[in-house]
Structure 1
């Protein structure tokens, strides 16, 4: 079996780039205690694709997502959402960017317990002082399959339904890219599959762009592309992945990092 080589994960395409990292380095600490979470990462994330980011614990996958989303600062390099350069933005501009151009889905559903499903879905737009497109809202609600549960509060919904509410909340503002951090981590296998199918459907049918951090090879198999990190660098990628192919790649990366 061939060794895993370090690669620059970029795509030559005429399709729009939804998010981009150029030579991104992220350092924590100083002196001898300094740790490099990311080491000169270059990656283009294409619009209308479902990308999964995987790697061993401590590989930098969550750090990369947080830097791409403007949730964390970078030490060196450049980060873009579309044509907007994120690094160096003021807090005010970052807040506006996250409200209008980025959606988030987290492992913890982060729903407000006093609000109904519908109110939770529309909350980001309400905070931004925007009204939803009725046609788009109807499409999103239909896609997540929650039209009969919109008046229910989170405690009246299953875990899978709560995460689908969180997915709809991320979609309703029609962001350029959605970042999902272990979105099935708190779900059983059946509910997790429902959410993954929804995310895949939202890309293929609604044209959404999704970037998902996961440790689960089965979850990654729903993506169009899987990027693998080790020691803060991109080391390989797969297109049209299967769970077995992802698992095999992870084993090879584990061997590589253990030997190193």
Structure 2
């Protein structure tokens, strides 16, 4: 039986999946990445998604963000039904309502930090709010680095530029896929503290896929997947509590 994890009914739901199934391949080669997943992500909350390798965590994030199609089920960003959108509608959704942070910083080397941060708005033909831009830059702590190009920045600073780029358009939700995966411990801590602070001080909504219990401990909530199903969740997580949960999931997988 599939577990159903729901957000508090007192707060707005930023993103949700309803009965989401995702199959790859056909016949005997068919693989079920997601199996009837029901999950909600509350606005203004930092949620981490964890699970063993192949559990479906990245697939879940990609389907929520409209980056991958569904076999069955429905996905919503706010009240917008993503699973019914055309390619043009999906492009507009991702441009205007969703932010992305990935392992690879994806910064343009010829642009300064400020130009990289403002790039999504420039592409959309939108002008930034100076007050919001200043607030984001202050939150990421890059006020003295805006004129620097990526090669002049550390890995942690480059990822903070990527975080600011995701925030500057004031999206309803930011999806982060292993955002500290290419960073050393100190730089990773910088980025995780920024993500946590952006939720607490800016009211941002973040859904982060990670394999790292320490990274997950920065979240308000951790959702656990195994074999394409949500099997558990943890609120106010500690690294040790997350690690214990993951050990149990790994043990269950070995027995199966």
1:187-212 Cα deviation digits (max 9, x unpaired): 00000000000000000010000000
Which consecutive unaligned segments of at least 5 residues does structure 1 have? none
What is the aligned counterpart of 2:31 among 19, 31, 35? 35
What residue in structure 1 maps to residue 221 of structure 2? 225
Q: Scaled by the length of structure 2, what TM-score is found? A: 0.99
Contact 1:6 1:236 (8 Å CA) reproduced = no
What residue in structure 1 maps to residue 133 of structure 2? 137
What is the aligned counterpart of 1:47 among 6, 30, 43? 43
Partners of 1:132 and 1:82 in 2: CA distance: 23
1:41-91 Cα deviation digits (max 9, x unpaired): 000000000000000000000000000000000100000000000012111
Relative to 1, partners in 2 of residues 1:142 and 1:12: Cα closer, same or farther, differing over 3 Å? closer
Partners of 2:8 and 2:126 in 1: CA distance: 36
Q: Scaled by the length of structure 1, what TM-score is found? A: 0.97
Partners of 1:16 and 1:47 in 2: CA distance: 5
Matched positions, count: 256
What is the aligned counterpart of 2:113 among 111, 117, 125? 117
SS in 2 for 1:212: strand
Which consecutive unaligned segments of at least 5 residues does structure 2 have? none
SS in 1 for 2:83: coil
What residue in structure 1 maps to residue 191 of structure 2? 195
Note the aligned Cα RMSD (angstroms).
0.8
1:125-162 Cα deviation digits (max 9, x unpaired): 00000001110000000000000000000000000000
Q: CA deviation at 1:6?
A: 5.3
Q: CA deviation at 1:11?
A: 2.2
Q: Which runs of 4+ in 1 moved over 2 A?
A: none
Partners of 1:143 and 1:258 in 2: CA distance: 43
